[in-house]
Amino acid sequence: MEMSKEEFLGQFGGDYGYPGAPKGVDEMRATEFKRLEGMAYLDHAGATLYSEVQMADVLNDLTSNVYGNPHSQSDSSMATSDLVTAARHQVLKYFNASPREYKCIFTSGATAALKLVGECFPWSRESCYMYTMENHNSVLGIREYALSKGATVLAVDVEEVADLAKNHGSDSLYKISRRSNQRRGKDVLSHNCQNGSLSDILGQKFSLSLVKLIKEGKIPLQQQIIALFSLDSSVFSMLIKYIKYRGKWMVLIDAAKGCATEPPNLTVYPADFVVCSFYKIFGYPTGLGALIVKNEAANLLNKTYFSGGTIAASIADIDFVQKRKNIEQVLEDGTISFLNIASLRHGFKIIEMLTTSAIERHTASLATYVRNKMLDLKHSNEINVCTIYGQQSSKVEGLKMGPTITFNLKREDGSWFGYREVEKLASLFGIHLRTGCFCNPGACAKYLGLSHSDLVSNFEAGHVCWDDNDIINGKPTGAVRISFGYMSTYEDAEKFLKFLQSSFVSLPVQFNGYMLNLNSLNLIDNSSQKAVSDIHLKSIIIYPVKSCQGFGAKSWPLTTGGLMYDREWLLQGSGGEILTQKKVPELGSIRTLIDLELGKLFIESPTRRDKLQVSLLESLADLREEIDVFGQRMVINDRFLQDALGKGDCKQKLPVDAMRFRPNLVISGSSPYSEDNWKKLCIGEACFTSMGGCNRCQMINLHQDSGQVLKSKEPLATLASYRRKKGKILFGILLNYEDIMEGENEIVAERWLQVGQQVHPSIE
């Protein structure tokens, strides 16, 4: 599968790596992105990365100059005003927008710019807001302003059906199909749904010539319409309004993602509004975006609120206010983020050195290479591993693929890998990607085949954004997305492809001279499931405080729910939140001990000399609800630690003991994995029922040593390579203690576990 770098350069060398620039991508990564060593950052659509040289320039600028509040006339304030003016011109230049025709309004981001247009636009009952299914929530949110003013809202699908380069002046280049018609009355929001044909354009880029066609009135839509079109589901969105009394269309392009590799040329495609966020272009600063607005379009925006810096004069005790004439000052409330604005020139310096056209070719070469390799991935039974959304060949010659790939993965039986499983495993390999619906519910539903009833039932089942419910009723609820940036490399692409190959592709393997499928290997020797005399209880570990260290005991009593006092206490933060090692890994260095004779719990921290003492007689009633969650006990087989972790081609072995897995009971004397098939087991007179395998997470990668928490990717990465089952990485089993009642009053019989007791497992 792997293509050598020489072969890759032979195919893509004309576009990859900035061959004509002063500094190539390999040199740039080595000198300006040293922090990326060992990782592959593939979420540039979410946020690209700042360079170390860029940040050094920003620091030098801020430590060498004095910038005052621009709402003043001092020398430092005037210097700031001049810098802000220069920054506005630099932003306009980036979009090839003439300062005579366009203005740059700084906002806190692209979302704030969209909101500004939505709240200032002159909506009425004659307006109709139309948007494509592929739009971001920040764009969909504009419909709230439209609906509140009585406007109609439409959702549509747009398909390019002809090549714009060969059909100048044609009125039928796009097929537009309506999805739904929404209108909000006094109390009701009604929906008129119509079925429309779907187009599959995710990750593809349509020509911005659509802007010209709209402005020239050559798109045959209804009159009195506001429409939102997605030119690239990961790049551009367009908002169009036919204003009856002015007889023209207004066009808004959401260029938040697209402007990093291919900003719209406003001289060629004269949109009325463009929004962007600068961290998407060069990583820093965050919290700063812009609204690029055409002069005549700016006159339509009616802003109600006024603030410092937006008015020429006001009187406090009567209704008198005069707004400024300058549209930038009218729309920019309060003091702008002038220090962040000062840093823009240092980011643009990188873009100007490389050029946007070279960045676009560089990122497209990587995306094309990875996309083609992903489509070639097959399981041993020839089932495709990757389903890439928007990967169908286009009818249109001018259609280009962007730097983003959105996909899901299938098992060899046709079922889906959950996107959260992919994300968790990727983190073990040092790969940063994004999963979910990317704040784009329309595209998610459209390409995943989720109906309205599916979406509602998923929500009622508890699924919300950013949770772990990645598969519901056999269907993905989201997808996986990777995206490339200007500093992405061939090595990043190869790291990702090797991750897919090693983690998700089922291949036939040679075993004792026979070809077997890796996933069909039975790792359990059924002959070892019989109870034998040498299976015994090796260790008992109690964890009184969840996420803190446990302590070993030679013997320990059982009570309702399991081991007495195990996970009875939780640590609570100052804000009321429950603390765990996932949030505070250092909890693993806190030592605990229970003295049953004294009736006390001792808690000791390596950072304090004194020990905390807690009486075991104190009421725990208020904690009982939380305690029940952790009522199951966990048992592991210590033979695994000796035998199984020797697998793989690791350069050096990592010593792993049982305590890394935080078990309650460690069993010795049986073969590795034998506990997987145990249904019940008895230890002495105490009997337990298996609740199934214990799902593992990155917490087992935390290594507590001398109070210091050292992180690594092992042993979870090794476990993940062959102990995965339906998205779970299993090791050890969970046990439920079977209480036994005695006497006329049915009192729970007192049972004790003792190290060395015989263990009698049963697989029936």
What does the alpha-carbon distance between residue 427 and residue 729 come to, in Å, rounded to a whole number? 14
Which amino acid is it at 171?
Answer: D
- Residues 414 and 291 both lie in one domain: no
pLDDT given for residue 711 in this prediction:
66
> Which percentage of the chain shows pLDDT scores above 70?
74
Q: Which residues of 401-413 are buried (b: 16+ CB within 10 A; e: fewer)?
A: bbbbbbbbbbbbe
Which of 327, 347, 367 is where one domain is finished?
Answer: 347
Which amino acid is it at 338?
Answer: F
pLDDT digit string, tens, across residues 493-539: 999 999 999 999 987 654 444 333 434 333 333 444 444 558 999 99
Q: How would you write 433-499 as a 3-class SS string?
A: CEEECCCCHHHHHHHHCCCHHHHHHHHHCCCCCCCCCCEECCEECCEEEEECCCCCCHHHHHHHHHH
- Residues 299 and 321 both lie in one domain: yes
pLDDT given for residue 240 in this prediction:
43
Cβ-based neighbour number of residue 352 at 10 Å: 13
pLDDT digit string, tens, across residues 107-136: 999 999 999 999 999 888 888 777 777 778
Helix (H, G, I), strand (E, B) or coil at 296: helix
Which of 510, 540, 568 is where one domain is finished?
Answer: 510
- Residues 335 and 188 both lie in one domain: yes
Which of 347, 377, 403 is where one domain is finished?
Answer: 347
CA 197 to chain centre: 30
Q: Which residue has the higher pLDDT, 61 or 736?
A: 61
What does the alpha-carbon distance between residue 571 and residue 578 come to, in Å, rounded to a whole number? 6
What are 511's strand-pairing partners?
514
Whether 491 maps to a domain, the answer reads yes
Known catalytic residues are 439
- Residues 465 and 334 both lie in one domain: no
pTM for the complete prediction? 0.76
Residue 754, pLDDT > 80, answer yes
- Residues 249 and 282 both lie in one domain: yes
- Residues 201 and 247 both lie in one domain: yes
Q: For residue 473, what pLDDT band results from cuts at 50, 70 and 90?
A: confident
Tokens 């549209």 sit on residue: 327
- How would you classify the pairing of strands 311-315 and 386-388? unpaired
- How would you classify the pairing of strands 152-160 and 174-184? antiparallel
CATH code, domain with 725: 2.40.33.20
Tokens of 253: 């392009």
* Number of alpha carbons in the 13 Å side-chain half-sphere of residue 87: 25
Of the candidates 493, 471, 494, 473, the residue with the CA atom closest to the CA atom of residue 483 = 493
Residue 575, pLDDT > 70, answer yes
Mention every residue, 6+ apart, whose C-beta is less than 8 A from residue 162: 170, 172, 173, 396
Q: For residue 188, what pLDDT band results from cuts at 50, 70 and 90?
A: very low
- Residues 489 and 570 both lie in one domain: no
Range of the domain at 486: 359-510
CATH code, domain with 498: 3.90.1150.10
Average pLDDT over residues 566-586: 82
> Which of 149-158, 167-176, 377-386, 639-648 shows the lowest mean pLDDT across its residues?
639-648
- Residues 442 and 565 both lie in one domain: no
Look at the chain and report how many structural domains it folds into.
3
